[in-house]
Structure 1
Amino acid sequence: MNAWTKERDGARYAAWQSAFREALQAAARGNAVFPTRNKVPAIPSPHQRGHNCKGQCGQPGHGVYDATTVAADVRCLFELAPRADGYGIACGGRMIGLDLDRKNGVDGVAELNRLATQHGFTVPRTLTVCTPSGGFHLWFAVPAGVTIPNSAGRLGPGIDVRGTGGYVVGPGSQGSSGQYVLHPALGEIEVLPAPAELIQLMLPAPIVRPARQYVPTGDKATAALDGLVNVVLGAPDGTRNDRLYWAAAKAWAHVMDGHIAACDAEAALVEAAVRRGLAEAEAQRTIASARRTTAGAP
């Protein structure tokens, strides 16, 4: 009996079947899904640790970046994950998740209510998933073009934001301590828009940069840097790092020619990358990599 057949025996196969069925239904509703095992991606990564591939290699095993709404692709992913007992739903784009923990003396629900009172908004009765630990996942719609980054505890104790590159565990999934289920009093209801005040709280704080310390040699220099910034700001999801690297390489070429100051090029590109949803440290690494590979960059 091969390993796949063994995995199909008993309760484990029943859990796999249930997760697969629920994932297919979620995909049919337009949610991009991928298989999980106890909340985490169930397909092993094809890369060694420390890689930064987000699926560009074309192989499965990239967690949320494998997520799909195509039924045939969902089946292929689950066939590669015989130990899956749940599924993740990709966040970012038009849907984000608010993960409210209620354990170890922390109450994310109370903290969210406190924020609502403090900032003058009402928490909508949106689609809500109850977690095994007693917490909740609140699903919210966000306007097109708004990029919400992931964060853990930044809004307050017990509140994690699942935005671009993040995911929530889908209802019907199994965790080590129980099942994720739709809120019994709400059921399968509409995903409502997040209040504007809450969106502002979830967005990264603007980065204050020092005033520019140089005088451009002419309008062309300013226009060139502004154009590279716009390339980063306009990067579609999945291309942000690549676009930033390309823009940084071009910027360092201008630095080499003496048209732009190095500190100004770096500050402008980092700020644009953070506005586009990248972490500041990640943006700095990408820009530094482009600088190293640009021959003669000072």
Structure 2
Amino acid sequence: MTVVDEGAEVVTAADKVPFPEEDVGLATGPSGLVVVDLDSVKAKDPKGTPDGVTSLQALCERAGQAVPATYRTRTASGGHHLYFTAPDGVRLGNSAGRLGKHIDTRAHGGYVVAAGSTLSEWLHRPLTPRQAARGLTVAPVPVRASRYATAALRAETAAVAGAGEGVRNWTLVWAARALGRFIPSGDLARHEVEQALNSAGLRAGLRENECRAAVASALNWSIANNSGRPA
């Protein structure tokens, strides 16, 4: 992916062409990131609807803050991704429109096509759940499900294969739960998820019977908790 430095903004080849299939999917939660997705105005939006950039500017004005200066990329649809380091001690999930019109966020349970300054407290406060929410680990990815599913499969299997001793089992279970939500929607087939994760677990040094048992149990949990939901 070509990257051109234009001061504070990073412009990628995605400005001119759609993301190719070989692009890397970045799992934002395990990467310790919160990505703020500023969408462009859609054709179906009513006249006068602000885009994500305008909504963020208004949000900053209301908070008496400057627009955060951080790593930024343009997306294939004409929007922007702003990358922030996730705040310590707070587990954020995905959101859609909570910060403003055409502003989404990706954290635990989210992916972006491949980060940044620390996410300010005034900005992450509206995203912080008031009480623990079990659904954060299986938050749906709302756009281009099949593309995100493919990116998620690559990202999660890579994370499992690279996991070290002491975190391998946990990483495998987490990956299976994250990927399992794509099975009820038909974006991924169970057998391909099992095969990919079992192979990744073996590369990480786990025994075959450990992999199969952990993956099967985690997928069953994820499917049971995501049946009827779009991935």
When normalised by structure 1's length, the TM-score is 0.35
Larger RCO (alpha carbons 8 Å, 6+ apart): 2
* Structure possessing the higher radius of gyration over alpha carbons: 1
When normalised by structure 2's length, the TM-score is 0.45
